[in-house]
A and B are shown apart, each in its own frame.
Chain A
Amino acid sequence: MDDSGDRFPIGMRVLAVDDDPTCLLVLETLLRRCQYHVTTTSQARTALTMLRENKDKFDLVISDVHMPDMDGFKLLELVGLEMDLPVIMLSAYGDTKLVMKGISHGACDYLLKPVRLEELKNIWQHVIRKKKSDPKEKNKTSKLDKTTSESGSGLRSAGAENSDENGKLTKKRKDQDEDEDEDKENGNDNEDPSAQKKPRVVWSVELHRKFVAAVNQLGIEKAVPKKILDMMNVENITRENVASHLQKYRLYLKRISCVANQQASMVAALGSADQSYLRMGGSGHFHNNAFRSFSPNGIISNLNTPTGLNGHGFSPSGLLQLGQSQSFNNSSNDQLKFQPTITPVNQNILQGMPMSIGFDHLQNNSSKGVFPVQNLNTDVKPTFPIPNRFPDQIPKVTTSSSHPPSLGISNNGLMLETHTEGKHGGIGIGYGSSSSSVSSRHSDFSFSMLDQGRHSDNWSSVVPLSGIQTNSFPSSDCFRQTAIPPSDNMASLPLQAGYPGGSLADVHSQGSVFTNSPEYINGNLPFQGWEDRNQDATYHSNITYGSINSLAPVNGAVVPRGQTTSNSTLHRNLDTKFCDPRQMKHAGFADLTECSSSRQPRVNIVSQQKFSNNLGSLEYLASSMMEQEQDKMKLLGGDFICDSYSGGVSL
């Protein structure tokens, strides 16, 4: 089919995501009845992977709101940011609040279960609408794409234009022909510029980092596209590109601050998409452009909100708690559950926390309520889009999955918001680590999140995140943790962070240990080093703690208390480049972890291994830790965060 636009609705490629097999099967059947081409999956992470693999493969995404591995809203955000595909939400509940949430996260539509055939017959309109309203983006060079985005998209944009190119790309797709045709006809049914009509600008991690840096520098309120564009000094992007990206970023930030829940989803997203974060668009100063990098590993965005993070293992959604001490906790609370506890820490703790914290814990949270980690569980690393905390913003690093920031903050979207008031830098949370990628991604932690440096104000020493801020995170470099002797250094750290909660501790150990008592963070925080670290940035960015989910602070920092050593290895996987300093702290944490171990078996986080990518875990840890036992955190946080993070942070 798809020979031409005429048949457009027919053969439209839909990706359906729902964890309930009954609903999924019904949905699939209904969609096929409408003559669409359907792909189904019951895991949000898988969906993201598929989407990231080839943006042009699908025209539309339909997703359930309530999913175990990732919050539907989080997925929604990520898809919107990274791929810019129309997403339709599906739910058994249709209360106004939920619908509103869906809309604010960018959903094109919100359907109630059970879905009727008539309703599905009209969903194609969203594809058309989106395509129409997004012409500018496409122009931009695909170059960006190339570097960052998947090979497919990259190719596409760069040369795309031709259906040939697309053809290649589309090969992957099932409906190759369709794509090509459609592309031609519709000029990309999908948002993706299948290269045909408009080369879409792909917001690579690098690019996003610059963007965030520029925004941070200008100040979120003053950031206007033109100026941002000038500051970024990048070719092939127009003011319009920046404008639309800014809009997304702003939304993202807003979302982070008010939607803590998303965490969970973030995590998932983190894993894979570095870029996803970029989409973030939100005003949050993501400074860390690194966010982009988040993606993979659970970019633990600046966990600045130390408190948030630690406490609960940043439940994916709530992870962000980080920094934002204020809002952070709250918002994240929902998601993370841990929030409440963390709060104290929030402020500082997360700062340093590379987020990795959250993730592991997130997963584990169950115990504490820390939810965030838990949420991440499924791989979803909370992508924290850690919006740097601008004094106003602080996008709560709710790692909750919801963070769309493509940061890859997988899972929980730990959006670590780095409170750093002045500094924006904050969010470096490398959420990223979305589930799968996290482990590998670490490097991505583009923590750019928080400007660690900024932290100085807020966190006073808040450690960890500062490091995370990685303003410069080269996204992957930062966490080169590999150097860090996995188990010992970081491992001990992160988790140890005094998790009061235990679970978060893991996260914290990484770097954020902070969460617990903000006091420590400030004072102790060795992290202050973070600020310095920022400079290192390398690790910041990598912190993509997002992935914290399982990741246990990247280097293992997340190692759950007692486990630390063992965990550390886990984290190591993270590759987190975390700065070495972490390692140092690590030692310190080791102690902490011990303590924490008693607390909560955050372990999960650590073991999560998954962190490897998600340095965010560190942050998460931080947050989780914070929550857990704030007091514990103190210990850890202080030391832990700052230095230790270098290595393990977010992992």
Chain B
Amino acid sequence: MDRNNSRRQLAAMKQSLFDQGHLDEQFIQLEELQDDANPNFVEEIVTLYYRDSSRLISSLEQTLHFCACGRERNPLDFNKLDTIMHQFKGSSSSIGAKKVKAESTLIREYCRTGNAEGCRKSFQQMKKEYVALRKRLENYFQLVRQAGPMERACRPK
């Protein structure tokens, strides 16, 4: 049935997200927090995350951009970058965005060592992952809605 198919699809989708390392344990925990009183909790959180982090992303871009092209530009403001990354990492880890979080850590390291190039490269990488994950999660939630409320948290194998 459609429903079953949807559910199966959903399970498969989720499984792959985990297998490919895009999501981690935290995501499961979020799903566990979802209940009747809070039926769309996970989706809400993810939506909130993307909305809030988008401004961080643009702020990051701005900070990185400065250095990238400007000669007279001040050198990359590592401190500022680090601050933004700190927050970014925190929220990414709160939704279980594993790869994004890992990239954030990397960027932070580059900040610490003052490696501007590394920062920028890592950022590109992270942004790609960030955007890709969003798409996948959007699909995922769409399917969730289709599959109906029965879908509950279940650990991927």
Instruction: Report Cα–Cα, A21/B87, bound state, in Å.
Output: 10
B29 within 8 A of A: yes
Instruction: Report Cα–Cα, A117/B32, bound state, in Å.
Output: 10
Instruction: Report Cα–Cα, A26/B26, bound state, in Å.
Output: 10
Instruction: Report Cα–Cα, A30/B38, bound state, in Å.
Output: 12
Given A30-B33, A33-B33, also A113-B45 (CB < 8 A): no
Given A114-B96, A116-B29, also A26-B45 (CB < 8 A): yes
Contacts of B110 in A (CB 8 A): none
The residue on B at minimum CB distance from A371 is B79
Which chain B residues in 23-72 approach chain A with CB under 8 Å? 26, 29-30, 32-33, 38, 41, 44-45, 48-49, 52-53
Contact with A along B90-117 (1 / 0, CB 8 A): 1101111000000000001000000000
Given A92-B89, A93-B86, also A21-B33 (CB < 8 A): no
Contacts of B142 in A (CB 8 A): none
B139 within 8 A of A: no
- A20, A25, A66: the one within 8 Å of B83 (CB): A66
Contacts of B32 in A (CB 8 A): 117
Chain A: minimal CB distance from B80 (Å)? 10
Whether B87 lies near A20 (C-beta < 8 A) is yes
Instruction: Report Cα–Cα, A25/B49, bound state, in Å.
Output: 10
A343 within 8 A of B: no
Contact with B along A110-149 (1 / 0, CB 8 A): 0001101100000000000000000000000000000000
Which chain A residues in 28-43 approach chain B with CB under 8 Å? 29-30, 33
Whether A91 lies near B90 (C-beta < 8 A) is yes
Given A66-B83, A114-B26, also A20-B91 (CB < 8 A): yes
A274 within 8 A of B: no
Whether A26 lies near B52 (C-beta < 8 A) is no
Whether A92 lies near B33 (C-beta < 8 A) is no
Contacts between chains A and B (CB distance < 8 A), count: 60
Q: Give the one of B26, B90, B91, B93 with max A CB within 10 A.
A: B90
Instruction: Report Cα–Cα, A114/B33, bound state, in Å.
Output: 14
Whether B86 lies near A92 (C-beta < 8 A) is yes
Q: Give the one of A20, A21, A93, A116 with max B CB within 10 A.
A: A20
Whether B29 lies near A113 (C-beta < 8 A) is no
Contacts of A25 in B (CB 8 A): 44-45, 48
Whether B93 lies near A21 (C-beta < 8 A) is no
Contact with B along A28-63 (1 / 0, CB 8 A): 011001000000000000000000000000000000
A64 within 8 A of B: yes
Chain A: minimal CB distance from B81 (Å)? 13
- B30, B52, B53, B93: the one within 8 Å of A113 (CB): B93
A23 within 8 A of B: yes
Instruction: Report Cα–Cα, A113/B90, bound state, in Å.
Output: 6
Whether A21 lies near B96 (C-beta < 8 A) is no
Contacts of B94 in A (CB 8 A): 20, 22-23, 26, 113-114
A19 within 8 A of B: yes
Whether A29 lies near B38 (C-beta < 8 A) is yes
Chain B: minimal CB distance from A626 (Å)? 21
The residue on A at minimum CB distance from B46 is A22
Which chain A residues in 584-613 approach chain B with CB under 8 Å? none
Given A22-B91, A66-B87, also A29-B33 (CB < 8 A): yes
- A22, A92, A113, A114: the one within 8 Å of B48 (CB): A22
Contacts of A26 in B (CB 8 A): 30, 33, 45, 94-95
Q: Give the one of A29, A66, A92, A117 with max B CB within 10 A.
A: A92
Whether A22 lies near B86 (C-beta < 8 A) is no
Instruction: Report Cα–Cα, A91/B82, bound state, in Å.
Output: 14
Contacts of B93 in A (CB 8 A): 92, 113-114
The residue on B at minimum CB distance from A64 is B90
Contacts of B33 in A (CB 8 A): 26, 29-30, 33, 117
Instruction: Report Cα–Cα, A114/B28, bound state, in Å.
Output: 12
Which chain A residues in 80-94 approach chain B with CB under 8 Å? 91-93
Instruction: Report Cα–Cα, A64/B38, bound state, in Å.
Output: 25
Contacts of A64 in B (CB 8 A): 90
Given A29-B38, A29-B41, also A23-B90 (CB < 8 A): yes
Whether B38 lies near A66 (C-beta < 8 A) is no
Chain B: minimal CB distance from A525 (Å)? 33
Q: Give the one of B29, B32, B33, B94 with max A CB within 10 A.
A: B94
Please list the 6 inter-chain residue pairs (A to B) with the smallest Cβ-Cβ separation, ordered nearest first: A92-B90, A22-B91, A22-B49, A92-B89, A114-B93, A114-B26
Can you name 20 A-B residue pairings with CB atoms under 8 Å?
A20-B87, A20-B94, A21-B48, A22-B52, A22-B53, A23-B90, A23-B91, A25-B48, A26-B30, A29-B33, A29-B41, A30-B33, A33-B33, A66-B83, A66-B90, A92-B86, A92-B90, A114-B93, A116-B29, A117-B33
